[in-house]
Amino acid sequence: MMRFRLKPSRRAAGIALVTGGSSGLGAALCVDLASRGWFVLAASRRATAPAAAPGVAGRIEAVELDVCRPESIARLSAQLDDDGRMPELLINCAGINIHGVFEELSRDQARAIMDTNFHGVADTLRSFLPAMRERRRGTVLTIGSLAGLLAPPGEALYAASKHALEGLHESLHHEVQRFGVRVCLAEPGYIRTDLARSAGEPAARIADYARLRPVLHEHWAASIAAGTPVERAAREILDWAIEGNGFRRRFGANARWLPWLKAFLPQPMYDAGLRRRFRA
């Protein structure tokens, strides 16, 4: 089994483990952390380190991790424990989406979304939280979503997974704070990544949804294209998680005003506006 060793200077800077660290927001988080002096374990199924400047890249190490396979999580946890390299900062960023209406997603696709976005986070916490509790220090940062606060058409399973993270982390936040472990749940709106291009296609095409389907796709792609630049999102989230306080925080204008709109508008008015936007 391969063993990874830290130089003393890297150990002093702190160790962070970032799931989904090979691309998108996860990669940006890895690079930003390394620029702050952290030694970063960029975890992904491909074990590919994100591109970074030479001085920063030396602080990032790619490790293999599939959050949908508990044995993969347990293997990495045991390996890092053996090496005395359990992370002080755990960032749960791995996630997937298959954009489409509920009926067009197969059972296997629905399970894949929930397994990655929710159960993968829960299983990762089970492996790495005990060491933080025993040391009486550590930070868990999980990347939730605006979809954890509201659920537009075309996001049923993705929103369900992010709503589940809200409940898990709210309870966990109360359970572990007495042990010096901080739990942070970031709730970003749209972020400018390649998520729209990399998302899978629904398994079915149902004629009754033919008119809605292109509207959903257009809205999703346009929202991502107009979203917060990924480097800025990573910087703002880490500023809060490392230097700030509080359990939850929303990032991006749409994540701040859309839930407010939902909370204060009468339900029929909110529903009518949403359906008019999507021509649903």
Tokens in use for 121? 């986070």
Torsion angle of alpha carbons 262, 267, 271, 273, nearest 10°? -70
The one-letter code for the residue type at 108 is: D
From its phi and psi, is residue 68 left (phi > 0), alpha (psi between -120 and 50) or beta? alpha
CA neighbours within 13 Å on the CB side: how many for 137?
A: 7
As a whole number of angstroms, the distance between CA 30 and CA 181 comes to 21
Stated as kind and residue range, the H or E segment containing 98 is none
- SS3 category, 38: coil
Catalytic residue among 158, 190, 209, 270: 158
- Find out whether 45 and 65 touch, Cβ atoms under 8 Å: yes
As a whole number of angstroms, the distance between CA 224 and CA 192 comes to 5
Tokens in use for 9? 């200077």
**Is 209 an annotated catalytic residue?**
no
- SS3 category, 215: helix
Q: Looking at the annotation, which residues are catalytic?
A: 158
